Amino acid sequence: MNIGYIYYDLLNLYGDDGNIKALKQRLTNQGVKVNIDYISLGDTINFNNYDIVYFGSSTDNNLLIALEYLKPYKNDIKRYINNNKFLLSTGNSIELFGKYIQKGDNKIEALDILNYYTEYNENRIVNDINYNCTIHNKNIIGFENHRGHIISKEKNFLYKGDNKYGVVYNNFIGTYLIGPLLIRNPYFLEDYIKRLLNKEDIKEDNYYLEIESYKKAVELIE
Amino acid sequence: MIGTMLGKAIIFVEKIFKFNASSFPGRVVLKLFPNYLKKLKYPNLVIMVTGSSGKGSTTKYIADLLRKNNMKVCHNVYGSNLIDGVTTAIISNTKGKKVNVDALVLEIDERYIKFVTKYIRANVITINNITRDQPPRQGNFEEVFEEICKGLNTDMMVLNADDPLLKRFEDRFDGKIIYYGIDKNQYSFKELNDIKNTAYCPKCNTKLVYDYYHYSSVGDFECPNCDFDRGKINYQITSIKDNVITINEDIKINIDNDTLFNLYNIISAYSVCRTIGLKDEDIVKGLNADKTLKKLFNEYTVNKRKYTVLNCKAENNSTYNLNLLHVLKDEEKKTLVIGLRQISRRYNHFDLSWLWDINFEILKDNNVDKIICAGPYRYDIAVRIKYAGFDEKNIIIMENTNGMKEIIENQTSGNVYGILNFDYVEPFIKETKGGNK
């Protein structure tokens, strides 16, 4: 299985690398051979090569740099998502895939792949999150810390009920939750692995420490 | 002036009742007299220290050094670095409108420097680093950089040239910039798989290349595509040997802690004092074997096991990374204790992403016997250690420090390193020294 870690040295603000470590270890434990391409600005990206691509979070200025370098790949990324391939985007990188980013009077064209746009706030949005997830029906916990917010016409959200946060489209998952989402949510990771491998029954894996950490977080975040 | 009198009265009352509130008097005075700081007459020498880590130590180095050179110095108490704390320190040294000292040496929170320099012009602002630190409060290093840029009311800046992020002040500050750094030494790395805050040239987005690293993006960098590089260094540590550092291949200073963090603080203090016109011999006299860092660095022996306690700020991956590198200078067998109680004193959030920016991978294959993970976040720490490639069966999980001494003595071997948040330092020392002093 090939993983493309897009701009690993720019979109890396909040321990995002943990998600790559989680995928690598869990897939390896399933007997899958995992190859990770660490992609830098200016590298040629062949999206056809990947089964999963990952985008982490960055400073707001660095996100715009990443956006400029990704624009030539707009149609490739669109095709990739439409072909049901896996794309995970955490933190502010979700803003890349919408129509545009509005910062005050400045409107910046984004990749225009999904049906939402971003508006920047004067104040940062800082929250601990603990919501029931539409994908695996258990709670997802985590932390968000961002200035932009998404205004979406997409039909599918990551969370249930009134918490219309996150965007789900085919196997695209985008969320403002930062950092090692897949590490902190072992049940979500297990489900993700099943869907990646397209198997209901996968080899049992040792998630003991992760589950203890998850249980503690669920308890702490009301 | 009424403000000064009121502030002093509160400080006096606090002393009688033995309160140790180092910012309350300032808060009251500023509430009643918002322009209080504007009306004072300041000494000719005003030095401000800001940035993410090392501010307290650097400030103390500079203040002690000036005092040893017979100057009367006002400096704020360690950590009381918001405007209230700064004001309190000033009030206690003010008569009427006159701040009655030869020098004002202030440690100022990186987000508050703009509020202080609104009223007080500095001669020198020095910045050691802008790192990942307290994300719920700070956002990120880019936002901190922008906040500091709003407060550059100073004649000069003294900056760490080894950090490409700080070089960007050149575009935002018109005054004179003096640079310091640490040259290649036995603690430099050819490759360092550490998270970088600045991987690309801020001018042309080309990936920076490094001759060596000290931590994160700090080291000797240059852009292969344009003229952006570490540039000319005014004051540089050119060698580190047997607790003596050499500056510019000439000046020698005795130190008692050769962690790179401490050395960056020392070279920063040295450079500031040179910049304001002190003579080398007077600086050396002042810095030789300063005991400032003792608080952050504690060593003792219990039952033939050597203990080293390293104080690490949660949410700050750089201090952890530097402390891990320090631990690995010891090639003997060792056991690590990693613990924290509260992520922050200031807010109640449960962000643990910073644990994943710490390069625990370097512990693998480096003669580490056991790692004890302690405190409310013990499982989060343990998960991180596990994914760093450390065998799960060598990880010991403890709810707190109770009984830790017995566990260390019976289940672990080698020198013991406590890599601890400020709120775990005392409990750990008390537990491990208990009964066997």
Domain residue extents for chain B: 2-290, 297-433
Q: Which residue of A has its CA nearest to B316?
A: A14
User: Alpha-carbon dihedral of residues B234, B235, B238, B242, nearest 10 degrees?
Assistant: 180
Q: Is the pLDDT of residue B256 over 50?
A: yes
Q: What is the pLDDT of residue B191?
A: 87
Q: In which band, very low, low, confident or very high, does the pLDDT at B9 lie, cut at 50, 70 and 90?
A: confident
CB atoms A180 and B356 under 8 Å: yes
Cα distance between residue A53 and residue A38, in whole Å: 10
How far apart are the C-alpha atoms of B160 and B181, rounded to whole Å?
Answer: 6
B145-166 mean pLDDT: 97
Give me the architecture of the B297-433 domain, per CATH: Alpha-Beta Complex (3.90)
Cβ contact A130:A139 at 8 Å: yes
pLDDT per position as a tens digit, B125-136: 999 999 988 888
pLDDT of residue B18: 67
The CA radius of gyration of chain A, in Å to the nearest whole number, is: 17
| Structure-token pair, residue B412 | 């672990």
**What is the distance between the alpha carbons of residues A127 and B351, in angstroms, rounded to a whole number?**
9
Question: Higher model confidence: residue B138 or residue B221?
Answer: B221
User: What does the pLDDT look like over A49-64, one tens digit per residue?
Assistant: 999 999 999 999 999 9
**Identity of the residue in B139, B356, B376 whose CB atom sits nearest the CB atom of A179:** B356
Partner residue facing A15 (CB), from B141, B205, B353? B353
pLDDT digits over B263-290, tens only? 999 999 999 999 999 999 999 988 886 6
User: What does the mean pLDDT of chain A come to?
Assistant: 95
Chain B partners within 8 Å of A128 (Cβ): 349-351
Average pLDDT over residues B401-414: 96
Pick among B137, B316, B354, B356 to test the A interface (most A CBs inside 10 A): B356
Judge whether residue B435 has pLDDT over 60.
no
Pick the range with the lowest mean pLDDT from A74-88, A198-212, B7-21.
Answer: B7-21
Check whether A1 has a pLDDT greater than 60: yes
Confidence of residue B214 (pLDDT cuts 50, 70, 90): very high
Instruction: List the single residue in A with minimal CA-CA distance to B350.
Output: A128
Cβ–Cβ gap B349/A126 under 8 Å = yes
B196-206 residue pLDDT tens: 899 999 999 99
* pLDDT tier, A160 (very low <50, low <70, confident <90, very high otherwise): confident
Residue B193 has pLDDT above 80, yes or no: no
The half-sphere exposure of A78 on its side-chain side, counting CA atoms within 13 A, is 13
**Quick check: helix, strand or coil at residue B413?**
coil
Question: Which among B205, B354, B392 is the nearest to A15, CB-wise?
Answer: B354
ipTM of the complex: 0.96
* Contact state of A179 with B349 under an 8 Å Cβ cutoff: no
**Mean pLDDT to the nearest integer, A97-101:** 98
Which one, of B206, B213, B207, lies nearest residue B191 by Cα?
B213
The alpha carbon of residue B21 is apart from the nearest alpha carbon of chain A, in Å, by 29
What band does B291 get if pLDDT is binned at 50, 70 and 90? low
* Residue A80 identity: Y
The per-residue pLDDT for A165 is 87
pLDDT grade for A36, boundaries at 50, 70 and 90: very high
Smallest Cα distance from A145 to chain B, Å:
7
Shortest Cα distance from B344 to chain A (angstroms)?
A: 14
**pLDDT classification of B293: cutoffs 50, 70, 90:** low
Q: What residues of chain B lie within 8 A of the CB of A180, using their CB?
A: 352-353, 356
Asked if A60 contacts B142 with a C-beta cutoff of 8 angstroms, the reply is yes
Report the mean per-residue pLDDT for chain B.
92
DSSP conformational letter for B206: P
> Percent of chain B at pLDDT above 90?
76
Quick check: A122 contacting B, CB < 8 Å?
Answer: no
Q: Which CATH number fits domain A2-220: 3.30.1160.10, 3.40.630.10, 3.40.50.2000, 3.40.50.880?
A: 3.40.50.880
Q: How far is A90 from chain B (nearest CA, A)?
A: 12
For an interface test with B, give the residue of A8, A10, A208, A213 to mutate (most B CBs within 10 A).
Answer: A213
For B295-318, the pLDDT digits (tens) are: 556 889 999 999 999 988 888 898
- pLDDT over 70 (residue B408): yes
* A10, A14, A221 member nearest B353 (Cβ): A14
Distance from CA of A151 to the nearest CA of B (A): 22
Residues of chain B contacting A38 with CB distance shorter than 8 Å: none
Does an H or E element contain B253, and which?
A: strand B251-254
Give the pLDDT confidence score for residue A8 in this predicted structure. Answer: 96
Is the pLDDT at B40 greater than 50, yes or no? yes
Give the model's pLDDT for residue A23.
Answer: 98
Higher-pLDDT residue of B319 and A33 is A33
pLDDT value of position B338: 97
Percent of chain A with pLDDT over 90: 91
What is the pLDDT, as a whole number, of residue B80? 86
pLDDT at B437: 42
Window 52-111 of A: residues touching B by CB (8 A cutoff) are 59-62, 65, 69
Q: What is the mean pLDDT of residues A206-216?
A: 95
Among B139, B355, B383, select the one facing A209 at the smallest CB separation: B383
**Whether the predicted pLDDT of B69 surpasses 50:** yes
Do B407 and B372 meet the contact criterion of CB atoms below 8 Å apart? yes
* pLDDT at position B313: 86
CATH architecture for residues B2-290: 3-Layer(aba) Sandwich (3.40)
Structure confidence at residue B436 (pLDDT): 45
